[in-house]
Amino acid sequence: MISQIREPLSKLAQPIIIFFAKMKIHPTVFTVIGLLLSIAAGVFLALDNFLAAFILLWFGGAMDFIDGGVARYNNLESQKGSFLDSVIDRISDIAVFGGIIFSSYVFALEGTIMVTATLVVSYIRAKGESIGIKGMATGLIERAERWMLLMLLLFISLIVPNSAFIGGTIGNPIGYYITIFNGTYLISYFAIGYMILTALSVITVLQRFIYVSIKLTKAEAAQEVQVQK
C-alpha cells in the first residue's frame, strides 16, 4: 500500500528534500537522527508516554523518508548506504517494538511475538532476494505499513478517552483491567489494535515463507526437467 503512494508523497516532500540536499547534509546524518529518535520513542513507549512517542515516531519517519530523497537528489546512493540504512531500520524496529514489551498496554508474550515477526518478515525478504527470488515485497503489511498502523493506534489512544472503554474509570487512565495467570493487564483501544497488528505481522511472515517455498519448489522442478533433457 505504502509503495503505491510513495511517489505522490515524494512529490509533496520534494521541496523539503531539495532544501536539505542543497545544504549538502549527508544522507547518513538523517539516517542516524532517525535512529536516535526511534530509540527515544521506544523508551517513552516503555514509560507509557504515548504523546512523546508519537511525536518522536513522526519525526523519525520523516528522517527515514528524507535520507533516501537526499541521497537520490545528490547522487549519493550506494550499496554501503543501502546496507547501513537496512541495518539501522532493524535496530529502530527493535527499539520501538521492544519498548512496547515493557509498557503497561501489551502482554509480554504478544510483544515478543511482534518483535520476532518484525525481524523475520525483513529477513525472509532479504534472504529471498539474495537467492534471486523476485517480487519479495509480498504480504499484508511491510515495514512502512506496520509503522503507520502503530502511529494510528497511538493517535487513537491519545484522542479517544480510554476510560470510556468497557468500564474504565478516571482512576484507571488506560481503561479496563483484567487478571490472567495471576497477572493484572489492561484492555484498551491500543491493546486490541496491537493484537490485530501482531496478527497481521505473523500472517505476513507466513505469506512470505509460503511464497519463497513455492518459488523454490518451482525452480527445483524446472531444474530437474532441464537435467532430464
Rounded distance between C-alpha atoms, residue 156 and residue 192, angstroms: 12
- Note whether 1 and 145 are within 8 A (CB): yes
Residues known to be catalytic? 89
Residue 36 carries which DSSP code?
H
Say which amino acid occupies 108: A
Rounded distance between C-alpha atoms, residue 223 and residue 215, angstroms: 12
Say which amino acid occupies 178: I
All cell numbers assigned to 178: 483484567
Rounded distance between C-alpha atoms, residue 194 and residue 201, angstroms: 10
Residue 165 carries which DSSP code?
S
- Note whether 149 and 141 are within 8 A (CB): yes
